[in-house]
Structures are given as structure tokens and as C-alpha cells.
Amino acid sequence: MEYVILVLGFTIGFYMAWNIGANDVANSMASAVGAKAITLRQAIFIAGILNIVGAAFIGSHVTDTIRKGIVSPDVLNDPHVALVGALSALLAAALWVSFATWKSLPVSTTHSIVGAMVGFGIVTGGFSVINWAGLGAVVASWVISPVFSMVIAFVMFKIIVRIILSRPDPVGTAFRLSPLFIGMAVFVVIMSFVFKTPLGKNLALSTPVAFSTALVCSVLLGFLGKRLLLWFRNVRTGEEGAEGVFRRIQIGTSCYVALAQGANDVANAIGPLALIYFLVTTGEAGQTVPVPYVLLVFGGLGIAAGIAMGGARVIRTVGERITTLSNTRGFSVDFAAATTVLLASKMGLPVSTTHAAVGGVLGVGLARGLEAVNFGVIFRIMLYWVLTVPMAAFTSMVLFKILSMIL
């Protein structure tokens, strides 16, 4: 029977990874596609490759069995209950993300698996096993991430308009100031890589060392980037030419988000699967379990398959249906999302990259006035954010009861 559960775990784990790819790819590629920096086909190809690389080479090799400390470890004392619970949580989270993707709406895959684990915890141990303070922090992130990102994107785009787009020679100014913007993006990317990815955490660089390294690299790569931009200089003039400068910078920031997405989000599918694999092969449960390399690759392939087969729906919602994006706005969105996740993480605040990306798009839309934003789409997105935890929890409770009678 345990090996039947293991096969089920691999199947549902791949389905969850597929859904992560189909829904979360909008975080990294929606602004680039919406701003016409790359085509949808190019975005899917780039995101697919980088997600596999991120998941396989930078993804965590150890994962929490109780996601985010929301549920007491006591509920895992019985290995069979833990097996059925992990299966229920994985399938419940996957079904919710799948439903949201079908509705073309971006949701947090992390919050989906958190909600599913809450449902499993309640049905097995009651409400007392839930860390309500931790769950409250998740609820707070529905406001923190989008508001942080919205403000940063709004300010960044206004700065670009003020010092570049409104000048008599926008193209020349964009080239002159390109080391500043490339350097700022590189700085945030390096700091995010060091503090946000599992590989970066394993390097364990102190804050001063990480800060100094990022600063030196941002200066060097900023001027190197300017040389490359001049090498591939386009012939367009005016505001259109300035947008072309930011088009190339934006492709770089989008690629980083795709790489980090694979590294961080693979655990949402592989964490519960690793627990099932560990329980079947050892018969024991722990608060953390090792993740075999093959599982990371397996999860990365599942994410890439989801991007290729279902990524277009949510990309179009975030990149095209909230507001009209240009390359300068797309750069502002990527910069705001990455900065929000980095700053909030360093402050110990729970954030979602999905929420930050949507907040950034809202910020650059508001920079053009209220009439530039489709608030109907924003309302539907936020409604699904609020529904994610309770819906995943309820589905997980129902599935646990059903699977307990079968397995």
C-alpha cells in the first residue's frame, strides 16, 4: 500500500508543479510580455529553461515538512496519518491553483499549500494545532506585498519620466543614465540571490559582505551593461528609443525572477512529495526531511511543463488586462517586485512574489491616473487571494476524510 501512495504522491506532486508553472510564470514574464519586450513564445521558452535550472541547481535540498511553521509537528507523529495528510494537502493546493489558472487569475502557490496544511492540521488535531499568529502574518501579506510594490513601482516610473522621458533627448539621457538603472537592478538581484535563494543561504554571507559584493558588482556591471547597450544601439529616437534601452534591461530582470521562482517555488510541490518519499522509504517522520536531487529535477520539469502548456492565461491577465505596459513601466514593475520581496524578507515580513508583481503593475498603472487601471480585474484577483487559504483548507479536509477511508 505504501508504494501505491508513493506513486500517487509522484503523480500529484507533478500536477502541483505543473500548476505552479502555469500560474506563477506570470510573476516573472507578465511585464516583459505586456511591454512587448519579448513574445509570449519566447517568455515561455526562457521561463521554462530558467525554472528548471533554478529548481534543480538552486532549489532547497532540505524542506520543512510542516510548511512555514503553521501546523504543530505533533500531527505528524503517526506516519500513516502524515502520508495521507501530505497527499491531501498536495492535491488540495494543486486543485485550487488549477482552478485559479483556469480563471486566468494569479494566486500565491505558497499560500495554497499553507491553507491545505491548515486544513490537514484542523481535521487531525483540531484548531489548537494551528499557529494562528503565523497564519495572521500570511493574511497581513495580502496587504503588505502589493502596497510595498505599488509604491516602489509608482515612484520608480515617475522618476524615469522626470529624468529621462520628459527630457529633450530621451535616448541620449537613457544611455547616459543606463549604468544607474542597470546597477540598481543588479544590486537588488545579487542581494535577493544571497538572501532569498536556498543556494545563497547556504553560502551564508554576512550582510556587510553581501552588501559590498553587490555594490562592486552593480558598478562594474552597470558600466559594462552600458557598453553592451551602445553596441546593440537601436536607431529609434525620442521616447520610443528610450523605451528600447529599458527593453533590454527589463529582459535581464525578468530572467532573474524566473530563476529565483524555480529555486523557491519548487518546494511547494516537492516539500510534501519529499515527506511522502521519506515516510515510505524510512517509515519515520521528521520536522525536516532531505530532498533528493532527482525530486528537484522532477519538480523543475513539472514547472516547465506547466509554463509551456498553461502559462499564457495568467501572463495575459497580469501583463495586459490590468493596465497598458511599456518597457519603462515593465522595468519599474520588475524592480519593485524584486525590491519588495528583498526588503520585506529582511524585515521578517511574509510576502508573496505574486502579490508583489500585481502590486507593481497596479503602481505603474496608477502613475498614469485612475482611468488607466482596470479595477474590475484587480478586484477579482484580490478576491482570489483572500479565498486561497480557506478554499485550500476546506478542500484538504474533505480529501483527507475521503483518502483516509480508501488508503
User: 123-174, pLDDT tens digit by residue?
Assistant: 988 888 888 888 888 788 778 889 999 999 999 999 999 999 988 888 889 8
pLDDT band at 183 (very low <50, low <70, confident <90, very high): very high
User: From CA 7, how far away is CA 81, in angstroms rounded?
Assistant: 17
Write down the pLDDT at residue 322.
Answer: 92
| Model confidence, pTM | 0.87
pLDDT at 233 over 90: no
Write down the pLDDT at residue 19.
Answer: 92
Least confident span in 111-115, 157-161, 188-192, 402-406: 188-192
Q: What is the percent of the chain where pLDDT is above 70?
A: 93
User: From CA 174, how far away is CA 182, in angstroms rounded?
Assistant: 11
pLDDT band at 371 (very low <50, low <70, confident <90, very high): confident
Residue range 37-54: average pLDDT? 83
C-alpha cell at 348: 521578517
- With beta carbons less than 8 A apart as the criterion, state whether 351 and 385 touch: no
Write down the pLDDT at residue 308.
Answer: 87
pLDDT at 283 over 80: no
Write down the pLDDT at residue 119.
Answer: 93
pLDDT band at 378 (very low <50, low <70, confident <90, very high): very high
Q: What's the one-letter identity of residue 16?
A: M
Domain count, the chain: 1
Grid look-up 522618476 returns 159
Residue closest to 60 by CA, chosen among 258, 300, 344:
300
Residue range 41-64: average pLDDT? 76
- With beta carbons less than 8 A apart as the criterion, state whether 289 and 278 touch: yes
Residue closest to 55 by CA, chosen among 269, 338, 362:
269
Residue range 238-242: average pLDDT? 77
The alpha carbon dihedral of 52, 54, 60, 65 has a sign of negative
φ, ψ for residue 288, nearest 5 deg = -130, 150
pLDDT at 107 over 70: yes
CA-CA distances (angstroms) from residue 336 to 137, 282, 329, 364?
Answer: 21, 44, 10, 10
Write down the pLDDT at residue 237.
Answer: 67
**Average pLDDT of the residues of the chain:** 85
pLDDT at 67 over 60: no
Question: Structural domain of residue 310, as residue ranges?
Answer: 1-406
